[in-house]
Amino acid sequence: MNKTRQFMNKVLQPFTTLDQDQLQQLEEYLKLVLEVNQGKNLTAITDWEEAVVKHLYDSLIVMHWAQWSQQTRILDLGSGAGFPGLPLAIANPQQTFYLLEANKKKANFLLQATEDLQLKNTVVLNERAEILAHQEPHRSRYHLVTARAVAAAAVLLELAVPFCQTEGWFLAYKGRNYQEEVNSASKALEILGVDLSQEFHYELPHALGSRALLFFRKNRETPVRYPRRPGIPGKRPL
């Protein structure tokens, strides 16, 4: 076993359900990301060990959530290079993952990756969230929506919550300094009918940072006008 694989296996030991085939797929996927990244700017992280920790480990950490196995239809908002959606899809073949990415080049990469890895439980959606969230096959259809996007909580909430079923969840991956963001999102929480229900704090291996998972619970149907038209949530957050 080569050193890159040994390092990855050690870092991912806490995820005890991963079998050797899944570990092989995760290795192939991350190598593909780093290879294609040179021409498409998929991630700012180019070091293998840092990518294993900050992309794979960080993506998979939600599997330790007590209610994870109940989430069978999952939307990854602003999927980019596929984090967290693709690592989670590899590790959880019994769940279905919809990878939403507005950028055509990145969406094409996601298609390439899912085909290369022969994943049967993923669907790539190349569209703006502000448009797709108003379409009947997607509005209020998902048990869980995830986002690792670098955007303010109020913006992410407006884009994500309309996709969630009532009593469904929106999960935001955040760094340690998220409290001000959440405080600033109080109006968005009220308008969208959402509560910050659970918080999970953790340290990345090899002292690569503190992180938090924020679990927002949707309590009622989203008002029909949200999300607003493309670009407005980012320019004028709730």
pLDDT at 215 over 90: yes
Percent of the chain with pLDDT over 90: 91
Q: 91 pLDDT band (50/70/90 cuts)? A: very high
Report the pLDDT value the prediction gives residue 168, as an integer from 0 to 100. 98
- Structure token pair of residue 212: 């938090």
Report the pLDDT value the prediction gives residue 41, as an integer from 0 to 100. 73
Report the pLDDT value the prediction gives residue 38, as an integer from 0 to 100. 75
Report the pLDDT value the prediction gives residue 172, as an integer from 0 to 100. 97
Task: Quick: pLDDT tens for 139-148.
Answer: 999 999 999 9
Report the pLDDT value the prediction gives residue 148, as an integer from 0 to 100. 94
Report the pLDDT value the prediction gives residue 46, as an integer from 0 to 100. 85
Report the pLDDT value the prediction gives residue 236, as an integer from 0 to 100. 96
Instruction: Spell out the CATH class of 61-235.
Output: alpha beta
Structural domain spans, the chain: 61-235
- Packing angle of the helix pair 104-116, 20-40 (nearest 10 deg): 150
- Asked whether 62 and 151 are in contact (CB, 8 A), the reply is no
44-48, 97-101, 167-171, 218-222: least confidently modelled range? 44-48
Do the bridges between strand 142-147 and strand 96-100 make them parallel or antiparallel, or are there none, so unpaired? unpaired
